[in-house]
Structure 1
């Protein structure tokens, strides 16, 4: 039997860590995590989380402190997420794909007391990245210090292979600090937590600059997992295949919070998404639940075509285009199963709308992102005047919600300007709202979705010019439709006199580590002469896109 959190809206009045402890106590011997064929029960998971919680408390981590993590999807980082919440602190996942520019901008703003990072991943050394991002980082016997991040006291590594260094605490040593924990003291701290407490700093994409830091209380992620569990009819026979990174909402909320705190279902982990590994997990364990973007399902389809792997997923959350919906429902799911299309934003924790399970209109299931979840009020407004538009007309999606974020951390002006005088949050997304259903058409202000990540084309321009300013006079980035990535970034550049365009391999090598991987353009093209503009000076993006398509097609 699943734990009943519906009666009296139990989920709405509790915290994530309170529900997690309830679930672990109720599930006991059931497998909570499966990682590399190793099963960890809910009872064992609770013990590990308590051990780590006690260690954090010994480091004087408590309410209001920030613990930043650069995570992979492993049991260690799963334990860290719940341990930070049990200690009463704020968790702040940071994107592993970020370059040093992003780290140097975000860390001083968020002011973490502890940074926990994977040591190495995909050939990149994250200790070196942090040293480059924070040049004043000093190491000593009592930890680390940085004048640019005054609160910082400890740097912890998970799975480091370079050996121990003074001032850096190994994760295993951190766990050892928590041995002999006081269960009653931890339980008392958890019991004292309130649903309106801040518990999460969630990074979101800005339209023209660095990621913003959105503050969540517990009602934000718990609203998402509550409504998702109903939309997917989750039951005791289900288990979840996680394909998302732990620095993304879908990994933290859709995987960890949903399964381990709310529904008590088994969570299967892959350190990084790999379609072949996903099919191996499906063959052995037959998971039924998952979440994915277009790129996930396209990669799985291509892998299945090569290997004939068995696709066992029958209930999925999906932020996908209609053509991917057709492929997923048809080729992968064989016409069966339940696809809950959604519209989500970091600022709403993140779910705004979701397809209900009993909708019988297939065109609505395919072409819309469902209905607003309970309590959310949606209105589409004219992007020029801010006035409400007629039903079905296109405009900016705006909403009021009891699950809204509590503002951008240390960015009061950025918070204020996103709300209008009627109290609606302006999403920056373009779409329609008709007969109760949302249709999402894309981001305003040049933000596109590529491989599941929001990418600002304006920000890519600024990074390209920052890195290659000696060669490029100007840059304009566009997004071309792509069946795999959803949107493929292509950057046009105007060269400075006497300069030439380097090979694409050299461009990527120079950008790697300084730009996030998803921000690096898939192609860089040379534009001669002035940019094409209309009579009022507005850039003609359609001409840039048409010429890029023609040039890339000729090169194939």
Structure 2
């Protein structure tokens, strides 16, 4: 880490980094130039100059301490410049997902009272056009794209013109940034809105910076690290882990061309640290599984041997045991013959990857560890800046989310009695704390200041003793926190059994035949599932079975392929308690997406919407019980 700590606010962090790297030519950001198709670096000197220019523009447009500046953009250097410029003025950043429809954009802008909106593409500018009349506080729109299609009555400024205007301002930015304190608001992070309108989570500088300090205390991230950023920066996970923490360590952030281009960009950028959601690792794993299944007996045997060798090495390494020469030689051979291809697809330099946003299937973590890529699973919420717990680098236990983060306290409260079963402080690493299941509670400097303009909901988020109520169910196992599911997702079957669908869905989704899956069963005699199939997986299975099915309709109608998915359920059901067995399923015609309003922008299932959308399919699975 560079010698720029301590820092308590985002302005302090930026200024100290800029001063530390001034004149060194050290790259802060990177992106692919659309004109030249070449990867281009932005040095700390360049970044500092652009931030000062854009801050000058914002200040000239009346933005001051506490005002809200909204950003509707993909991950790119301009996003960071706009955010940092607002932070220097003591303004509050409001980031929106690019998948957000115009009506929702208008809602967030109105709710936050944003006075300036920064947009990226022509598509996002058109959303701003439609939202403008409904947003009385909105005074200026800055477009990174040429505003040719903007309405003439909408005050649009191009990005380059905004920088030019800002450069001409006479502004003592350092003096203004000195007025920003740890307890001032830094960002409003809007929740996914799975059951209603999104709420703005009030994040102070103390909330965010304390989580950054905790991450740097726990993990070895340094100035030679490179991170390929592709998760939306409007998500609290990427904002803290993939943005502020990487910069605070002096590392470089390189922006992927798009989500779809990540697989192409990985070997080009060759990141050393990855921040991702489990879905990326699940897709990689499914692709490998399909490839192995299609291979010869020799190939399948070689793969199984390599995984066994890799697992032995990983276990001995975590236990601090010696890797003897024969095993070391086998491991080198396994890497060369089997695992090297995986490493090359990820760029060949990944030291570790951080997984968050959803549960990482234990099987996935174990495989990547055997392949020599350490996955660090963490857990948190937007309301906690976001990380509450994460696995230690040297001793991860897959299926858990690891140890409580430094500075944070997590408690487990029994669901029946309301009694606190255990409190664990992140500055300690207790190995003897084991509890039954209960609601997860949290305290710490990272816990939000409340919801924006929602005093009643803010009060309801905390109990009488000041614990933040996460709404998640979990337990401690030898000091490691294991998450069961969301309280609100709990299914009560017709037989009165409580079932948490998350772990079931996570397990079944590792099948190469399954892309997405949602368990159904509220008030029903047994559990069933709606399955969005992996069409590539079904095609490969069809080929292996000698079927002529090729169109999507033919694949979904083939009895042999349905039987293959039924076998996946049967394999799971064999070890599942009776009330957690999944007895039937139906294929759905389209995947759950943000665009069809069946996923939130943070890729969480909108369970009520999915069950309502596929009500006829759900009913068909219970017809025989009428």
TM-score by length of 2: 0.66
Matched with 2:139 is 153
Q: Deviations over 1:83-109 (max 9, x none)?
A: 110121000111222234533433322
> Paired residue for 2:17, among 20, 23, 29?
23
| Inter-partner Cα distance in structure 2 for 1:292 and 1:186 | 35
Q: Is the 8 A contact 1:15 1:193 kept in 2?
A: yes
Question: In the TM superposition, what are the counterparts of 1:348-359 in structure 2 within 5 Å?
Answer: 348-359=384-395
Structure 2 unmatched runs, 5+: 33-38, 292-340, 423-433, 492-504, 522-587
Deviation at 1:212, TM superposition (A): 1.3
Q: Deviations over 1:398-453 (max 9, x none)?
A: 111122111100111111111111211110111112433211122121399xxxxx
> Paired residue for 1:264, among 246, 250, 256?
250
Deviation at 1:72, TM superposition (A): 0.6
Correspondence 1:34 to 2:30: yes
| Inter-partner Cα distance in structure 2 for 1:130 and 1:393 | 49
Correspondence 1:170 to 2:158: yes
Equivalences, count: 462
Matched with 2:467 is 424
> Paired residue for 1:103, among 90, 102, 105?
105
Matched with 1:382 is 414
Matched with 1:203 is 190
Q: Is the 8 A contact 2:392 2:403 kept in 1?
A: yes
| Inter-partner Cα distance in structure 2 for 1:513 and 1:107 | 23
The range that moved more, 194-203 or 167-176, is 167-176
| Inter-partner Cα distance in structure 2 for 1:292 and 1:401 | 25
| Inter-partner Cα distance in structure 1 for 2:241 and 2:178 | 24
Classify the secondary structure of the residue corresponding to 2:418: coil
Matched with 2:560 is none
Deviation at 1:271, TM superposition (A): 3.9
Question: In the TM superposition, what are the counterparts of 1:13-412 in structure 2 within 5 Å?
Answer: 14-28=8-22, 29-36=25-32, 37-120=39-122, 125-132=123-130, 134=131, 137-138=132-133, 146=134, 149-160=135-146, 162-163=148-149, 165-166=151-152, 167-182=155-170, 185-206=172-193, 208-260=195-247, 262-274=248-260, 277-301=261-285, 309-311=344-346, 312-319=349-356, 320-330=360-370, 334-335=371-372, 337-359=373-395, 362=396, 365-389=397-421, 391-412=434-455
| Inter-partner Cα distance in structure 2 for 1:160 and 1:294 | 36
| Inter-partner Cα distance in structure 1 for 2:597 and 2:194 | 22
Matched with 2:614 is 525
| Inter-partner Cα distance in structure 2 for 1:180 and 1:328 | 52
Deviation at 1:279, TM superposition (A): 4.7
| Inter-partner Cα distance in structure 2 for 1:506 and 1:234 | 37
| Inter-partner Cα distance in structure 2 for 1:486 and 1:181 | 53
Deviation at 1:479, TM superposition (A): 9.9
| Inter-partner Cα distance in structure 2 for 1:111 and 1:285 | 38
CA change 1:104–1:488 in 2 (3 A) is farther
| Inter-partner Cα distance in structure 1 for 2:53 and 2:279 | 37
Q: Is the 8 A contact 2:401 2:481 kept in 1?
A: yes
| Inter-partner Cα distance in structure 1 for 2:403 and 2:442 | 12
Q: Is the 8 A contact 1:223 1:351 kept in 2?
A: no
Indicate the structure (1 or 2) with the bigger Cα radius of gyration. 2
Deviation at 1:284, TM superposition (A): 3.8
| Inter-partner Cα distance in structure 2 for 1:523 and 1:412 | 32
| Inter-partner Cα distance in structure 2 for 1:85 and 1:91 | 7
| Inter-partner Cα distance in structure 2 for 1:263 and 1:49 | 19
| Inter-partner Cα distance in structure 2 for 1:417 and 1:545 | 36
Provide the aligned C-alpha RMSD in A: 3.5
Q: Is the 8 A contact 2:368 2:374 kept in 1?
A: no
| Inter-partner Cα distance in structure 1 for 2:598 and 2:484 | 31
> Paired residue for 1:413, among 453, 456, 460?
456
Matched with 1:547 is 621
Matched with 1:469 is none
The range that moved more, 251-260 or 109-118, is 251-260
Structure 1 unmatched runs, 5+: 139-145, 449-477, 493-502, 529-543, 551-556
Deviation at 1:213, TM superposition (A): 0.7
Q: Is the 8 A contact 1:68 1:94 kept in 2?
A: yes
Q: Which has the higher contact order (CA 8 A, sep 6+)?
A: 1
Deviation at 1:207, TM superposition (A): 5.5
Q: Deviations over 1:344-402 (max 9, x none)?
A: 1111111111222343xx5xx21211111222221111335533247421121111112
Matched with 2:2 is 2
Q: Is the 8 A contact 1:204 1:213 kept in 2?
A: yes
Structure number with higher strand proportion: 1
CA change 1:489–1:168 in 2 (3 A) is farther
CA change 1:266–1:150 in 2 (3 A) is same
| Inter-partner Cα distance in structure 1 for 2:407 and 2:599 | 41
Deviation at 1:232, TM superposition (A): 2.8
CA change 1:385–1:173 in 2 (3 A) is farther
| Inter-partner Cα distance in structure 2 for 1:480 and 1:546 | 24
Classify the secondary structure of the residue corresponding to 1:367: coil
Q: Deviations over 1:51-110 (max 9, x none)?
A: 111110110101110011112111111111101101210001112222345334333221
TM-score by length of 1: 0.74
Q: Deviations over 1:172-198 (max 9, x none)?
A: 221221123446x01111122111111
CA change 1:414–1:479 in 2 (3 A) is farther
Classify the secondary structure of the residue corresponding to 1:258: helix
